Structure 1
Amino acid sequence: MFTEIILDCFYYVLIGNLCCIALLSGLRIYFIEKSSSSEYISLNSDEPFVSIHYAICDEPPIMVLDTLNSFRALEYSNFEVIIVSNNHTNEHSWKPIEAFCQSFTNFHFFHFDKIDGFKAGALNIALDKMSSNCEYIFTVDADYQLKPSALKIAVGTLIAKGVDLLQFPQDYRNVCDHTEGLQVNYKHYFECYLSSMDVSKTALPTGTLSLIKTGVFRTGLKWPSSTITEDAHFGINLLSNGFKIGFSNISIGLGTMPTTVVDYSKQSKRWVFGNFQTLILTLRQTRLSIKKKFKLYTMLSAWINLLAIPIIITFITIPLIFIYPEALFQLYLLIFLSVMYHALTQMYILNITSMGNWRSTLKAFLIHTGTIEIGAFYWLTYFIKRDKPFIRTNKYLVSSNNSLIFYLLPILLFVASIALVIVGKTYLWMILFPISVVAMIGKIQLENELAYSKLNLFQTMMK
């Protein structure tokens, strides 16, 4: 009797969860719109003074020097660079950078063994150190190299759009035909989510390649350190204070994709958890309209999925297949519908990004499934502990051996499906087995593309 009540509860929970998946999918499809526009305005008049803020933390010196040399090659003369090395004591990584900066009057280097606030704290220090006549601030991540026309395009386009912050897409240099799944999976956020928010001027910044009017900070705003995605949080604060945020879908700088599963997972966890922290803050905002909030929810949940409950119920109920096979069939059918609803929505969005190239779409979808458990579970840890440390993505080329835990989800699903065959419940096997196969192929595809990402990065560093 008690077990039957529990199964009934699971049934209604899955129906509710499926409705939530349908709602989230509907919001994504309703609000997103692919923008392939690469229109921009290159500045031809007087050059306003720009302060480039560059926070680094124990990065490979050769990579940092390449970035600084890309600043020197800018087709723009009226700028300074504030480099803030922070939260480490490795002199071998920051001393060469300090020596390099001493040769240039507009490059200002600062090192701090320990600061509060992680990257946000470093960027706030840069605000205090910049020149008083600065009109714009341009943030650049440690691994990014700017194209020579970057500042001319950024300043000219921001002025033309009439916004207070202008975000540009993240783009990568360690790419090739064998990394197209990774590329599309990254690109879909910018070409669908951020592009669609440019019309309403509610595109959230992503922390790098962001041009900001200094007047924004003169109102008392700072980079917030209470979340681990300080960029999205800062964007919410801007919108709440009536500022406008635009997006221009043109590549002006190239960074590096992760090269190991460990670092890719760290990055995914940071985006999932940090954006959920910011989503909760958005819920509490009283100065944003309901429609604007729904748009922001769509952006902030881009890396999140609602498959945790179906996954948990799957493994809890497998021991009951001998007693309640018909009831389990109903449950597993709802689980299958939940997975399919999410999968079809994600493939639709990725297909928009790849401009109908189904080969690229399929590869990107497999990359998505490679860490689907992070999107399913990691945001839920917010309800256990609301604060987590900022997790850096390693920029050094290192070897990495994946543990069995990385493959745990597809292995468990596969074992469960085989057990169903053994006991003769083939109709349940037909639901679980395809999911386990796709999940395993996704992890293999992710490993393969990250290996090429590492090879490409090594080749670019050797040039």
Structure 2
Amino acid sequence: MLQNIYDYLLLLSLFSIWIVVLMNKILVISGFVSYLKNYKRSDELIPDKDLPFISVLIPAHNEAKVIAKTLKSVLEMDYDKDKYEIIVINDNSNDNSAEILGKIKEDNPERLLQIINTDSIIGGKGKSNALNIGFTQSKGSFIVIYDADNTPEKQALKELVNAIIKDKKAGAVIGKFRCRNKNRNLLTKFINIEGVYFQWMAQAGRWQLLKLCTIPGTNFIIRRSILDKLGGWDTDAITEDTEISFRIYQLGYHIRFCPHSATWEQEPETLSVWFKQRKRWVKGNYYVLIKNFKYLFDRNTGPIRFDLLYFAAVYVLFLSSSIISDMIFILGFGGFIETTIMGYSLLLWFMAYILFVLSVLIALSAEKGEINGANTAITLIMYFTYCKLWSIVAVIGLVSFINDSIFKRQITWYKTERF
């Protein structure tokens, strides 16, 4: 009897893993099609004289190591300097960020640069609260967000503006973000591949298939009128970018993907920093899933039902199935349990692994310089290493989310340690 239960559990878990892997494969292929269609610009950029006034918000908390480089790159964007303001929200920092920012402002008296230094009374309550503070001080008809560790390419802002002005139904437009320190160590190489695969190609695929995207935390533009309607960012949301994406769609707008806009950001270089960052993301995504779960059964919700289904598939179906299948494999290999379909399940597992590897390699081929022998070798071991680490952090994040919900813990900043 127990043997049959193990067989059923193994088959069910492998089938569930196959569903998620296949979904990602379809997204990557669609993303590659989008890449082939859009890798060269097909329209002209809006003339400089017709560009609107933009507000660029940069929320920062203890970012002294990186904020100067970020602000310098934003000051040097290829955009009329009189048509965009920069607002840095130095949110309750206890390092020397204020001195660094004050010096940059002093050196650029002709620029529309505002530094907001908050304290623990009005600030220190997370990124959403910091963005809301900056938004109240902004004047632009469009709002652009960059994280404090970003170095956007010179054309990034103009590309975002061009895309949103030419698409009246776009409530927001997102660009790409790439790993600036990808060659630092094996972890950053994993993160770089993950970014190309799950962010760049998956976003392009969702846009190609469903005209659907999810806002990342950086390098995106949103209409001021929409933020006014929404009342700004949800201060209870850790992943405020994902949360606001759902509310934009509920207003009847879509979120467009612009592959021509790119920014480079610093990723975690140690496992401890990576674990803290990803645990935060997991907790935030569970919050978004639960908050919007009711829309999964609402026929009028539109394409965001796919995102809800995808979140549920990844954070519930795939995660539980991965844990179950791994446990059965380990126990079976150790002789603690017996199954009659282990051979067939190994074949299904191996086919899923091959599908995963092919999907990643297709994604890498769309980004200049990423398809090479080193990245191919890293991809081959990624499923057994980096992906398993994600499963662990997803479980830890779920437990932490439940604890936070029970004890009503207040949202605060978690700053990814910089290097």
TM-score, structure 2 normalization: 0.80
Aligned to 1:344: 354
User: What CA distance in whole angstroms lies between the structure 2 residues aligned with 1:26 and 1:100?
Assistant: 49
Contact 2:4 2:339 in 1 (8 A): no
1:382 equivalent in alignment to 2:398: yes
Aligned to 1:394: 417
RMSD: 3.1
Larger mean Cα displacement after TM superposition, 334-343 or 134-143 = 334-343
Structure 2 unaligned segments of length 5 or more: list them: 406-410
Q: Deviations over 1:86-131 (max 9, x none)?
A: 24323x2332213422453511111223336411111111111212
Contact 2:156 2:260 in 1 (8 A): no
What secondary structure, in the 3-state scheme, does the structure 2 residue paired with 1:142 have? coil
1:122 equivalent in alignment to 2:122: no
Structure 1 residue 284: deviation in Å? 1.8
Contact 1:182 1:367 in 2 (8 A): no
1:307 equivalent in alignment to 2:311: no
Structure 1 residue 260: deviation in Å? 2.0
Alignment counterpart, residue 239 of structure 1, candidates 230, 238, 249:
249
Larger mean Cα displacement after TM superposition, 176-185 or 67-76 = 176-185
What secondary structure, in the 3-state scheme, does the structure 2 residue paired with 1:237 have? helix
Contact 1:83 1:109 in 2 (8 A): yes
- In structure 2, relative to structure 1, the CA distance for the partners of 1:369 and 1:54 (3 Å cut) is farther
User: What CA distance in whole angstroms lies between the structure 1 residues aligned with 2:251 and 2:225?
Assistant: 12
Contact 1:85 1:112 in 2 (8 A): yes
Alignment counterpart, residue 95 of structure 1, candidates 86, 99, 111:
99
Contact 2:178 2:265 in 1 (8 A): yes
User: What CA distance in whole angstroms lies between the structure 1 residues aligned with 2:230 and 2:400?
Assistant: 32
Alignment counterpart, residue 138 of structure 1, candidates 136, 144, 167:
144
Structure 1 residue 315: deviation in Å? 4.6
What secondary structure, in the 3-state scheme, does the structure 1 residue paired with 2:177 have? coil
- In structure 2, relative to structure 1, the CA distance for the partners of 1:365 and 1:56 (3 Å cut) is farther
Contact 2:62 2:415 in 1 (8 A): no
Contact 1:269 1:378 in 2 (8 A): yes
Between structure 1 and structure 2, the one with the greater Rg is 1
- In structure 2, relative to structure 1, the CA distance for the partners of 1:160 and 1:207 (3 Å cut) is same
User: What CA distance in whole angstroms lies between the structure 2 residues aligned with 1:384 and 1:68?
Assistant: 34
Percent same amino acid at aligned positions? Answer: 19
What secondary structure, in the 3-state scheme, does the structure 2 residue paired with 1:262 have? helix
Higher relative CO (Cα under 8 Å, sequence separation at least 6) belongs to 2
- In structure 2, relative to structure 1, the CA distance for the partners of 1:280 and 1:351 (3 Å cut) is farther
Structure 1 residue 56: deviation in Å? 0.7
Contact 2:7 2:340 in 1 (8 A): no
Q: For 2:25, give the aligned amino acid.
A: I
1:69 equivalent in alignment to 2:77: no
What secondary structure, in the 3-state scheme, does the structure 1 residue paired with 2:145 have? strand
Q: Deviations over 1:329-355 (max 9, x none)?
A: 64x446635643542332122021122
Q: Deviations over 1:296-318 (max 9, x none)?
A: 53378668654111223345566
Q: For 2:98, give the aligned amino acid.
A: W
Aligned to 1:278: 288
Structure 1 residue 143: deviation in Å? 0.8
- In structure 2, relative to structure 1, the CA distance for the partners of 1:69 and 1:302 (3 Å cut) is farther
User: What CA distance in whole angstroms lies between the structure 1 residues aligned with 2:401 and 2:163?
Assistant: 41
Aligned to 2:176: 169
Structure 1 residue 288: deviation in Å? 5.2
Query: What does 1:72-221 align with in structure 2 at a 5 Å threshold?
Result: 72-76=75-79, 77=81, 78-90=83-95, 92-102=96-106, 103-104=108-109, 106-114=112-120, 115=123, 117-131=125-139, 134-162=140-168, 163-175=170-182, 182-199=191-208, 200-221=210-231
What secondary structure, in the 3-state scheme, does the structure 2 residue paired with 1:21 have? helix
Larger mean Cα displacement after TM superposition, 332-341 or 33-42 = 332-341
- In structure 2, relative to structure 1, the CA distance for the partners of 1:117 and 1:212 (3 Å cut) is same
Aligned to 2:61: 57
Q: Deviations over 1:244-293 (max 9, x none)?
A: 10001124322223222222333333344433432343432247546541
Structure 1 residue 144: deviation in Å? 0.7
Aligned to 1:297: 309
Structure 1 unaligned segments of length 5 or more: list them: 398-463
User: What CA distance in whole angstroms lies between the structure 2 residues aligned with 1:207 and 1:302?
Assistant: 20
Q: Deviations over 1:415-449 (max 9, x none)?
A: xxxxxxxxxxxxxxxxxxxxxxxxxxxxxxxxxxx
Q: Deviations over 1:117-151 (max 9, x none)?
A: 411111111111212xx111000011111222222
User: What CA distance in whole angstroms lies between the structure 1 residues aligned with 2:227 and 2:350?
Assistant: 45
Structure 1 residue 71: deviation in Å? 2.0
TM-score, structure 1 normalization: 0.73
Aligned to 1:433: none
Larger mean Cα displacement after TM superposition, 96-105 or 206-215 = 96-105
What secondary structure, in the 3-state scheme, does the structure 1 residue paired with 2:246 have? helix
Q: For 1:382, give the aligned amino acid.
A: L
